[in-house]
Amino acid sequence: MLLEEFAQYGHGSDKMDFFYLPIDFKNKCNRGYAFVNFVDFQDIVPFYNQYNGQSWKVFNSDKICDITYARIQGKAAMLKRFEHSALLDKEDEYRPLVFVSHGPKKGQREEFTSGQQGYQLQPGATPFEHSSVSSGRSQGEVNT
């Protein structure tokens, strides 16, 4: 639902390569923050301008989006953070979403499974081409 809204406003999987909306397994609601990694740091500005300080259209909530830089930066670092997570043994809807960063399949969903070893950046990419933002309770989160 949130990712669909992002895409509707020009911030879809062609702009990001990692998206994670933590879900509370008990009540099946999001925890109020998300992690988004943009392929190109320049895409952060329009995203920030669109959402920071705004209420969410897709949630029945009075919460306001607050965007900050994430403590963990880049797709490779985010994948490393989650590579042995119990989340990867859960249903697909609870897992982080990973998208191809570059090339003809850019924006298409990539498989990310438990125990995935040493994710490598696409040829020609540098860690600095990837920028993460988030909002919410902690640095590097997007409040939902």
Residue 31 has what pLDDT? 82
CA distance 131 to 75: 8
Give the pLDDT mean for 41-48: 94
Pick the residue with more confidence: 63 or 37?
Answer: 37
Is the pLDDT at 131 greater than 80? The verdict is no
Is the pLDDT at 74 greater than 70? The verdict is yes
pTM to 2 decimal places: 0.76
* Residue 53: both structure tokens together: 């300080």
Average pLDDT value over all residues in the chain: 78
DSSP string, 88-116: GGS-GGGSPEEE--SSTTTTSEE---TT-
Is the pLDDT at 126 greater than 60? The verdict is no
Query: Each residue of 4-16: pLDDT tens digit?
Result: 989 999 999 999 9
Residue 104 has what pLDDT? 95
Give the pLDDT mean for 36-57: 92
Is the pLDDT at 52 greater than 60? The verdict is yes
| Domain map (residue ranges) of the chain | 2-143
Residue 81 has what pLDDT? 86
Q: Which of 27, 141, 33, 25 is nearest to 91 (CA)?
A: 25
Query: Is 128 in contact with 42 (CB distance < 8 Å)?
Result: no
Query: Is 77 in contact with 18 (CB distance < 8 Å)?
Result: no
